[in-house]
A = this chain, B = another copy of it.
Amino acid sequence: MQLVPKSLQSLIEALSVLPGVGPKSAERYAYYLLRSDPSNADKLSAALSGLHDGVGYCSKTYALVEKGTDISPLYSDESRDKSLVAVVADPFDIIALEKTGQYTGTYHVLGGLLSPIDGLGPDDLHIPELLTRIDEDNVAEVILATNASVEGESTALYIQKHLDADTVKITRLAQGLPVGTDIDYADQITLGRALAGRTNL
């Protein structure tokens, strides 16, 4: 016997493809949408159908841009220092860095991190384009701003090995205690990094 109406079942299945969403969460989302005002489901449906037609990638930095825009304003803007490039894994990392209000360079989105387990090698990321760009734009400093995870570290290491340290300065985001943390509660590795990277006062 079909216990769940077909249209609800297909919504549950379609929601289950989202990362980290299991059958129970998908059920909960679907049932919420069913019970709430139909405008919620309609808005979501419309947003989904317009998604791929509205988003493009910057041909220089691979940041997300409005479809039809070739170059991201984060690069084309005159005030941006093109000799400074922050290398990030995903477009949303750009937003995090922009929010600091402290960065005036440009970005380069890799489109992921090296992950042999997921079959993601150097050719699947925008690493060749980074190397070309460093030459073309006479880049002076590359900030490796990848996650402080195993994949983030190994991707940074890979890029570092393929850059010529004589012609371009290579830096990495500092690792240490997050602001507001008790030393007591910091894990060993973080505390070790904070020690190793201690700064002069």
A66 engages B31 (CB within 8 Å): no
Interface string of A54-76 (1 = CB under 8 A from B): 11100000001111000001100
Q: Which residues of B contact A34 (CB under 8 A)?
A: 51-52, 55, 64
Kindly list chain B residues whose C-beta atoms are within 8 Å of the C-beta of A20. Answer: 25, 28
Complex: how many Å from CA A17 to CA B44?
9
Can you list 30 A-B pairs with a CB-CB distance of less than 8 A? A1-B77, A3-B98, A4-B64, A4-B95, A5-B55, A7-B67, A8-B51, A8-B64, A10-B50, A11-B44, A11-B47, A11-B48, A11-B51, A14-B43, A14-B44, A14-B46, A14-B47, A14-B48, A15-B44, A17-B40, A17-B44, A19-B28, A21-B29, A30-B51, A31-B90, A38-B52, A44-B45, A44-B48, A45-B46, A45-B48
